[in-house]
């Protein structure tokens, strides 16, 4: 009984002070690990995370699920964007989704779904026959897309107006709201002549996605012929888009945990 008690004490002491197999005698005995400093201390291999290293199992301030998915598991940068929430009910975007772009989580979309929408109409303005064209993307990315606007002089009554027909400015409007504009200051001198301009929309609505009815408003100058002599006319005309634009606001994502 006494021998058994002594044996038990020896086993207990070995357990407390570490009589088992030693992991190491020096640092070189420990297996190297990426993003960890490994050192031998008291015959045990201690692993200390290296700050600022992707793979140290710590999601640090300058890391996210895009730049280092090994360390940052949440919030994930994936799925459709929530455009509106009413109570517990969420409304999801038709186009916008979360995607990793160069290690940053962005609110963007699959560009393979983009369609070009060409619109063409005829307009009679002060004894001139014009062809108005507008081409835009659907969906329309407000951060980079532009509307291509063309204006062509198809015919004019030379007894009423005299060339040149000068396009001063093109504006894209919704009611009184200016969505975008461009100074043109180009002249149409004869039948068949025209202009082509690209207008970027600088006004961004609060909604992340929005179908919006827009119109072109064109400022122009032309010389009007009458019995009292030639008169320089400065005026504008509008042409409403026959289709709504599907506007989307892309940009940096704000994810919730």
Tens of pLDDT, residue by residue, the chain (257 residues): 444 444 444 444 444 444 557 889 999 999 999 999 999 999 999 999 999 999 999 999 989 999 999 999 888 999 999 998 888 899 999 999 999 999 999 999 999 999 999 999 999 999 999 999 999 999 999 999 999 999 999 999 999 999 999 999 999 999 999 999 999 999 999 999 999 999 999 999 999 999 999 999 999 999 999 888 899 999 999 999 999 999 999 999 987 66
CATH architecture of 113-248: Sandwich (2.60)
- Six token digits for residue 130: 């014009």
pLDDT for the residue 254: 81
Beta-carbon contacts of 94 under 8 Å, excluding residues fewer than 6 positions away, are: 139, 209, 246
Q: Hey, where are the domains in the chain?
A: 80-111, 113-248
CA angle (163 as vertex; 161, 165 as ends), nearest 5 = 95
* Cis amide prior to 75 (ω within 30 degrees): yes
Report d(CA 148, CA 73) in Å as an integer.
43
In whole angstroms, how far apart are CA 163 and each of 131, 167, 228, 229?
A: 17, 12, 18, 15
- Six token digits for residue 161: 């107006």
Q: Exposed, middle or buried: residue 130 (CB in 10 Å: 0-12, 13-18, 19+)? A: buried
241: nearest Cα among 185, 194, 179: 179
Question: Residue 202's CB: how many other CB atoms inside 10 A?
Answer: 11
- Six token digits for residue 184: 């043109």
pLDDT for the residue 12: 46
Report d(CA 245, CA 212) in Å as an integer.
5
For residues 210-243, one letter each, b for 16 or more C-beta atoms within 10 angstroms of the residue's C-beta and e for the rest, the string is bebebebbbbbebeebeeeeeeeeeeebebebee
Report d(CA 58, CA 70) in Å as an integer.
9
């Amino acid at each position: 009984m006494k021998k058994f008690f002594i044996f038990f004490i020896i086993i207990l002491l070995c357990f407390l002070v570490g009589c088992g197999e030693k992991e190491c005698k020096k640092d070189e005995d420990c297996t190297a690990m990426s993003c960890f400093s490994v050192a031998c201390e008291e015959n045990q291999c201690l692993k200390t995370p290296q700050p600022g290293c992707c793979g140290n199992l710590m999601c640090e301030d300058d890391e996210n699920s895009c730049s280092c998915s090994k360390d940052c598991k949440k919030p994930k940068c994936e799925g459709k964007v929530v455009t509106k929430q009413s109570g517990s009910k969420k409304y999801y975007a038709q186009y916008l989704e979360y995607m990793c772009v160069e290690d940053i989580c962005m609110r963007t979309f699959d560009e393979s779904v983009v369609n070009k929408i060409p619109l063409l109409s005829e307009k009679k303005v002060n004894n001139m026959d014009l062809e108005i064209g507008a081409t835009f993307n659907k969906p329309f990315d407000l951060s980079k897309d532009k509307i291509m606007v063309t204006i062509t002089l198809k015919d004019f009554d030379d007894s009423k107006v005299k060339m040149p027909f000068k396009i001063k400015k093109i504006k894209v409007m919704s009611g009184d709201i200016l969505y975008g504009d461009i100074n043109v200051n180009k002249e149409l001198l004869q039948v068949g002549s025209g202009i082509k301009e690209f207008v970027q929309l600088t006004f961004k609505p609060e909604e992340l996605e929005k179908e919006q009815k827009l119109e072109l408003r064109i400022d122009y100058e032309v010389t009007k012929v009458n019995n009292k002599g030639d008169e320089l006319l400065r005026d504008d005309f509008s042409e409403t888009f026959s289709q709504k634009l599907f506007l989307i606001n892309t940009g940096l994502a704000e994810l919730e945990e």
